[in-house]
Structure 1
Amino acid sequence: MDAEADLVAAAGNQADSEAQPGRRLRATGIGSVAVLLWAALALFTTLTGRIPPFQLTAMAFAVGGIIGLPRALRGGGAAARGLPFGAWALGIGGLFGYHFFYFLALRNAPAVDAGLIAYLWPLLIVVFSALLPGERLRWWHVTGAVLGLGGTFLLVTGGQGVHLRGEYLLGYIAAAVCALVWSAYSVTNRRYPQVPTDMVAFFCLATAALAAVCHLLFETTVRPDGWQWLAVLALGLGPVGGAFYVWDHGTKHGDIRLLGTLSYFAPLLSTSLLVATGRAEASWPVAVACVLIAGGAALASADTLRSARRRRRAGPRRP
């Protein structure tokens, strides 16, 4: 009987091992949905009019927290009470810290300069992933991320280049901290796989509360009007709310290096969406950026795609 039990356990472990790559690929796919949602950030933000940044952040994150609250409160919120302090600090610090330093950067440096520095986070995710157990950083992962960064540079600057100036140093530092915060949050999130994604609802609500405090301290309230309410709701359901649930799942269980490289599609898709809606013009930098970002993503995902093809050719194993 003991030998039979050992055989059953071994078969179960083998099945789990074979299923693991498939689960990892599915989690990566789920995480990449966040990139699609972030692509709508610029469009929805333009539709909110003159609502101040911290006020908009507070409203959108409140929506993002509310949509996940029913699941987070199941069982009387027992999961939340059992969360380690590190998980709370990481979740709230990552979501609020990124937006706080991003807005600080925009207040103290030109938007193009600050945006480019802040958008170092996908590259940093790829580099920092080497610190995770079981992850190996290859040259094609870094090269793919660098190509994506080059494409983003063209998109943001329009091919005109960037000229950094000393009087904007505070803004540049804030943008760099912004990139470090989000990349560190995304990579360190892998260390809390036991924390349910439902807990993101509490992180969103805490971020909304902190953003509301910043709004009261630094901004004048603007009441949304008409379609602006729908734009705020769309932000909370998508890029500033709902996206963080799928990103949480992807960074915990998916291919973090591939997710980092795929993140460069967000500015490309965002620009394409603005062009399609008549809020921006098509140009050669957009076309070149498309080639660089798509090529970088293909290069960075080479090993993942090869593994998936091998599993398809092998087919399901017979017991």
Structure 2
Amino acid sequence: MTKNRATSIGLLAILLWSTMVGLIRGVSEGLGPVGGAAAIYTLSGILLLFTVGFPKIKTFSPRYLLAGCLLFVSYEICLALSLGLAATRQQAIEVGMVNYLWPSLTILCAILFNGQKARWWVIPGLLISLLGVSWVLGGDQGLNLGEIKQNIASSPLSYILAFCGAFIWAAYCTVTAKYAKGKNGITLFVLLTGLSLWLHYFSSPQPAMIFSWPVIIKLIFCALSLGFAYAAWNIGILHGSVSLLAVGSYFTPVLSSALASFLLSAPLSWAFWQGACMVCVGSLLCWYATRN
């Protein structure tokens, strides 16, 4: 496989991941936040068994196996439930934007815990990302503290889960870089996520799962997108241009918001797009600050 082809496949993974916010929200509206997420990750895990295969767990370092499982499962649950519990579709897209603080936070974790060297402009990069998220949460008026408080108060658990998820995924990326040693436990992690969600579904009161053709189609597409995205990303990282893939991934907030807006028929304000662009710029600045 040529390097350009592998890079193109890796970029396809970014496109597939960008559909997650809209598709997860669409599935949760029919099957419930927990039931919908459980169905998505179960089907995705089965798909990964055929595309990536089941990992040889004995070859994993104990630190990667334990920390990777805990962090990955926790993050995916936070992401899925934060989108499903959002009060409205527009709010689900805003919650998704909070989640995209993770690229900047990953750089911060790499600096603090992995000894990553960085130039001073990583600090304004972090601040711009935070400002962008605040701008998104401020509604049509941009940075508006009163509107931000009112927005978060309408669905506090959703925003808390999204914010925690951003930190958890940054920690997962840091742990993976330090302890994985080239191993890929994604199939195991996704299957464990599905199992954890099913245990939560059957052990607590949950709304009925109402299947309809639109929900079933979104469920299938979401599972396919998640499963194929991880498989494609693996090919891109192993055989493609990692630098180009890194740059492409930092534009995910804008692409994800555009696709979610289309899939959910939820128009977004100009202030939202301004904030989304700030998140992208801040993430890129953080990334560039770590380059040699």
Aligned to 1:265: 251
Larger CA deviation: 36-45 vs 96-105: 96-105
Aligned to 1:90: 67
For the residues of structure 2 that align with 1:213 and 1:103, how far apart are their CA atoms? 15
C-alpha contact 1:262 1:297 (8 A) present in aligned 2: no
Larger CA deviation: 288-297 vs 220-229: 288-297
Shift in Å at residue 241 of structure 1? 3.9
The answer to whether 1:299 aligns with 2:288 is no
Aligned to 1:59: 39
SS, match of residue 281 in structure 1:
coil
Pairwise mapping of residues 195-274 of structure 1 onto structure 2 (< 5 A)? Answer: 195-197=182-184, 199-218=185-204, 219-238=206-225, 240-245=226-231, 259=246, 265-274=251-260
Pairwise mapping of residues 19-98 of structure 1 onto structure 2 (< 5 A)? Answer: 34-48=13-27, 49-70=29-50, 73=53, 79-98=56-75
Structure 1 residues 249, 149: CA separation in 2 closer, same or farther (over 3 Å shift)? Answer: farther
Pairwise mapping of residues 106-117 of structure 1 onto structure 2 (< 5 A)? Answer: none
Larger CA deviation: 31-40 vs 203-212: 31-40
C-alpha contact 1:151 1:289 (8 A) present in aligned 2: yes
SS, match of residue 149 in structure 2:
coil
* 1:146 partner amino acid: L
For the residues of structure 1 that align with 2:260 and 2:164, how far apart are their CA atoms? 28
* 1:268 partner amino acid: V
Matched-pair identity in %: 24
The equivalent position to 2:133 in structure 1, one of 152, 161, 170, is 152
Structure 1 residues 234, 114: CA separation in 2 closer, same or farther (over 3 Å shift)? Answer: closer
For the residues of structure 2 that align with 1:120 and 1:127, how far apart are their CA atoms? 11
The equivalent position to 1:194 in structure 2, one of 163, 181, 185, is 181
For the residues of structure 2 that align with 1:95 and 1:297, how far apart are their CA atoms? 21
For the residues of structure 2 that align with 1:129 and 1:188, how far apart are their CA atoms? 9
For the residues of structure 1 that align with 2:6 and 2:115, how far apart are their CA atoms? 17
Residues 125-165 of structure 1, C-alpha deviations (whole Å, 9 max, x = no match)? 11111145562122233433432333333334422441178
- Rg larger in structure: 1
The answer to whether 1:180 aligns with 2:160 is no
SS, match of residue 121 in structure 2:
helix
C-alpha contact 1:55 1:215 (8 A) present in aligned 2: yes
For the residues of structure 1 that align with 2:44 and 2:167, how far apart are their CA atoms? 23
C-alpha contact 1:155 1:267 (8 A) present in aligned 2: no
In structure 1, runs of 5+ residues without a counterpart are 1-22, 308-319
Structure 1 residues 128, 83: CA separation in 2 closer, same or farther (over 3 Å shift)? Answer: same
C-alpha contact 2:37 2:194 (8 A) present in aligned 1: yes
Structure 1 residues 157, 237: CA separation in 2 closer, same or farther (over 3 Å shift)? Answer: farther
Shift in Å at residue 296 of structure 1? 3.2
With normalisation by structure 2, the TM-score equals 0.71
In structure 2, runs of 5+ residues without a counterpart are none
With normalisation by structure 1, the TM-score equals 0.66
For the residues of structure 1 that align with 2:264 and 2:95, how far apart are their CA atoms? 25
SS, match of residue 56 in structure 2:
helix
For the residues of structure 2 that align with 1:169 and 1:290, how far apart are their CA atoms? 21
Q: CA RMSD in A?
A: 4.3
Aligned to 1:130: 111
Shift in Å at residue 233 of structure 1? 1.7
C-alpha contact 1:193 1:252 (8 A) present in aligned 2: no
Pairwise mapping of residues 272-291 of structure 1 onto structure 2 (< 5 A)? Answer: 272-276=258-262, 279-289=265-275, 291=277
Residues 81-133 of structure 1, C-alpha deviations (whole Å, 9 max, x = no match)? 33233222233212221133456767999767976765543332111111455
For the residues of structure 2 that align with 1:107 and 1:228, how far apart are their CA atoms? 14
C-alpha contact 1:58 1:212 (8 A) present in aligned 2: yes
C-alpha contact 2:32 2:208 (8 A) present in aligned 1: yes
For the residues of structure 1 that align with 2:208 and 2:11, how far apart are their CA atoms? 34
